[in-house]
Amino acid sequence: MNRNRTLNRNRTFSVQPGRRVVLIAGMVLALVTLVWRAVSLQVLDKDFLQVQGEARHLRVEELPAHRGMILDRQGEPLAVSTQVESVWVNPQELVGVQEGITALARLLSLDRNYVQQLVARHAGREFVYLQRHISPALAEQVRAMDIPGVYLQKEYKRYYPAGEVAAQVIGFTNIDDVGQEGLELAYGDWLRGEPGAKRVIKDGQRHTIEDVESIRRPRPGKDLVLSIDRRIQYLAYRELMAAMKEHGARAASAVVLDVRTGQILAMVNQPSYNPNNRQKLQRQTLRNRAVTDVFEPGSTMKPFIVACALEDGRYTPETAVETAPGWFRVGHNTIRDVHNYGLLDVSGVIRKSSNVGITKIALSLPAERIWSTLSGVGFGAPTASGFPGEASGLLVNYRNWKEIETATLAFGYGVSVTPLQLAQSYATLAGGGIMRPVTFLHQAAAPEGRRVIAQQVAQQVIDMLEQAAGPQGTAPAAQVAGYRVAGKTGTVHKSVAGGYAHDKYLSVFAGLAPASDPRLVMVVMVDEPAKGDYYGGLVAAPVFSRVMSGALRLLAVPPDKLPLLETRHDLPGDSA
């Protein structure tokens, strides 16, 4: 028994040295393996592994650049970019976080099924926008949730301080800050910034933990300074909106031009829209009617026929024109006046707005001369203002005119213009016969113009227009306290399929002030006034009066209507 115990003890003792060898050998092998692995990682495969690591954690991050501001001539902002954040997700990371999807959908007021479907539909992608341009407070809440696969990205959102007052002129940008309408579209290249880029290191949760280097600095867009005066723009918008409501009109437009520079000080349209809230946007409210919509100008065309007659040399302001018995036959057609004005001189034809008188004058002139005068002041061609979608209007070549077409052209039918074109043509008269290009941009120096009407003739026509806007003319409601006003009304039957509507009108007034030294021109067009009055002198002229009164005072234009000048001469043709 004792002998067996001794044998077992000896046998155990004899095995232990072998185990030690195996154990030591294993430890040495493991150590050698670790050393080799360390050498491999740190020396042999260092470059490869470093590239692989950087590929997984070193990223190029875009730095957004804000769009340039749009400013009025006084430096007041009309369009600015504010920094916001957008929520984006990595579907590959978010797909397994169901509780996170539910919480995120609730926070962003999104349907949970929509978020799940979005993640499932783009399961193979690493970047999908979930919600763009959220408020800073909401962005902080998203960030605090720290949901795997949910991230925030800095962007810029466009804001329009003037709102609907200048909406159709300024236009707007889309969600990616690209101009879609108006001057935002026309000057997109000028306003657009160039994004920058930097190299960063991100952790496994895509959080930036270190900026490595700047690759390219962001370049903000350039500011655009407009000729628009926000004060006059607001004034014109307010008065046009009031007139549209008062007369139950379908639409309306107004343009205010600086005679000396051709700069557009105000351009407004009704109805308008709020570019800061486009959820209920209607397509028809987007267009800038003052440059895209054409209409027949009616009697506002008559001053240019008279200018042509004066330049032709056959007429003077005192030349007599017989308008009795108040109608005149042209072929099978009859031209009529509202009243039988009898014998008028040329000034009286403008003052009374006689269709018969202006028709007889036009028919006595060469068609080519009339066409040359009208095309010279800008009819039939776009103003080259640079506004997207600007219409050219219509002025048929004189070679295609028949006698009745010459007659109707004389009082503004068979020709079409935009409100801006009409304003430019009146600015040509106000500028002494020099036509200057119109512009939306604020410029220190006035552009050179070209003479299209003799200075003396332009002044004679302005004198006639002053009578037309006086007590015995068609637009006494256009008067402005303290200033001499010159202008012309137009009351136009709207064209419809098969002819002209008998109960649908355009009410127009085009005028300038102060008449002694014209500074501003304004055109007002009201489409389909439906509450009684429809004459241009009753609907459009009062808008001109109120806006012009405020604009002249805002620009500190000295009054020119002194007591001595109010009765400076007898109006010619008063006895008619």
Residue 512 confidence class, pLDDT cut points 50, 70, 90:
very high
- How many other C-beta atoms are found inside a 10 Å radius of the C-beta of residue 309? 25
Q: What DSSP string runs through 511-571?
A: EEE-TTS--EEEEEEEE---SS---HHHHTHHHHHHHHHHHHHHTTPPP---HHHHTSSPP
Helix (H) or strand (E) holding 201: strand 196-202
Contact 373, 435 (CB under 8 A): no
Q: How far is CA 361 from the centre of its chain?
A: 41
Mean predicted confidence (pLDDT) in 428-446: 94
Quick one: pLDDT at residue 41? Answer: 62
The token duo for 462 is 């302005």
Alpha helices in 248-366, H assignment, sequence order: 289-292, 302-312, 346-352, 355-363
pLDDT at site 207: 57
What are the structural domains, with CATH classification, of the chain? 60-223 (3.90.1310.10), 230-240+251-274+288-566 (3.40.710.10)
The confidence score (pLDDT) of residue 13 equals 46
The one-character DSSP state at 441 is: B
φ/ψ of residue 352, rounded to 5: -90, -5
- If you average pLDDT over each of 52-66, 132-146, 459-473, which comes out highest? 459-473
pTM: 0.84
Q: Rounded to an integer, what distance in angstroms lies between the CA atom of residue 524 and that of residue 180? A: 27
Q: Which residues contact 313 (CB under 8 A, 6 or more apart)?
A: none
Handedness of CA 316, 322, 327, 333 (dihedral sign): negative
Rounded Cα–Cα distance for residues 189 and 387 (Å): 14
Residue 107: alpha-carbon gap to chain centroid: 35
Q: What is the pLDDT of residue 4?
A: 53
Question: Which tokens sit at 183?
Answer: 């001057």
Over 17-78, what HEC string results?
A: HHHHHHHHHHHHHHHHHHHHHHHHHHHHCHHHHHHHHHHHHEEEEEECCCCCCEECCCCCEE
Q: How far apart are CA 253 and CA 527, in angstroms?
A: 8
Residues with a catalytic annotation lie at: 299
Task: Please tell me the number of Cα atoms within 13 Å of 199 on its side-chain side.
Answer: 9
Residues 6+ apart with CB under 8 A from 363: 330, 403, 406, 407, 410
In terms of DSSP bridges, do strands 251-258 and 224-225 run parallel, antiparallel, or are they unpaired? unpaired
Indicate if the pLDDT at residue 45 is higher than 80. no
pLDDT classification of 255: cutoffs 50, 70, 90: very high
pLDDT digits (tens, 9 = 90+) for 290-348: 999 999 999 999 999 999 999 999 999 999 999 999 999 999 999 999 999 999 999 99
The predicted structure's pLDDT at residue 16: 66
Q: What is the mean pLDDT of residues 542-563?
A: 93
Q: Which two tokens stand for residue 21?
A: 């060898």
pLDDT tens for each residue of 117-138: 888 888 888 889 999 999 888 9
The answer to whether residue 404 scores a pLDDT higher than 80 is yes
Beta strands in 57-162 (DSSP E): 58-63, 70-71, 77-89, 128-134, 150-159
Question: Which amino acid is residue 50, in one-letter code?
Answer: Q
**Token pair of 41, please?**
């990682």
Q: Which of 522, 529, 518, 292 has the alpha carbon at shortest distance from 416?
A: 292
The H helix count followed by the E strand count for the chain is: 21, 19
Identify whether the C-beta of residue 563 lies closer than 8 Å to the C-beta of residue 482: no
Q: pLDDT tens digits for 462-504?
A: 999 999 999 999 999 999 999 999 999 999 999 888 789 989 9
Name the amino acid, one letter, at 103.
A
576, 341 Cβ separation under 8 angstroms: yes
Q: What is the mean pLDDT of residues 360-369?
A: 96
How far is 46 from 159, CA to CA, in rounded Å? 51
Of the given ranges (111-120, 193-202, 231-240), which has the lowest mean pLDDT? 193-202
* Position 160 pLDDT exceeds 80: yes
Structure-model confidence comparison of residues 34 and 166, the more confident one: 166
> Do residues 140 and 99 make contact, with C-beta atoms less than 8 angstroms apart?
no
Give the C-alpha separation, 464 to 470, whole Å: 10
Q: Is the pLDDT of residue 289 over 90?
A: yes
Provide the pLDDT confidence category of residue 53 given band limits of 50, 70 and 90: low
**Average pLDDT in the chain:** 88
| pLDDT recorded at residue 471 | 92
Nearest CA-CA partner of 207 in 93, 84, 66, 52: 93
In this predicted structure, what is the pLDDT of residue 476? 95
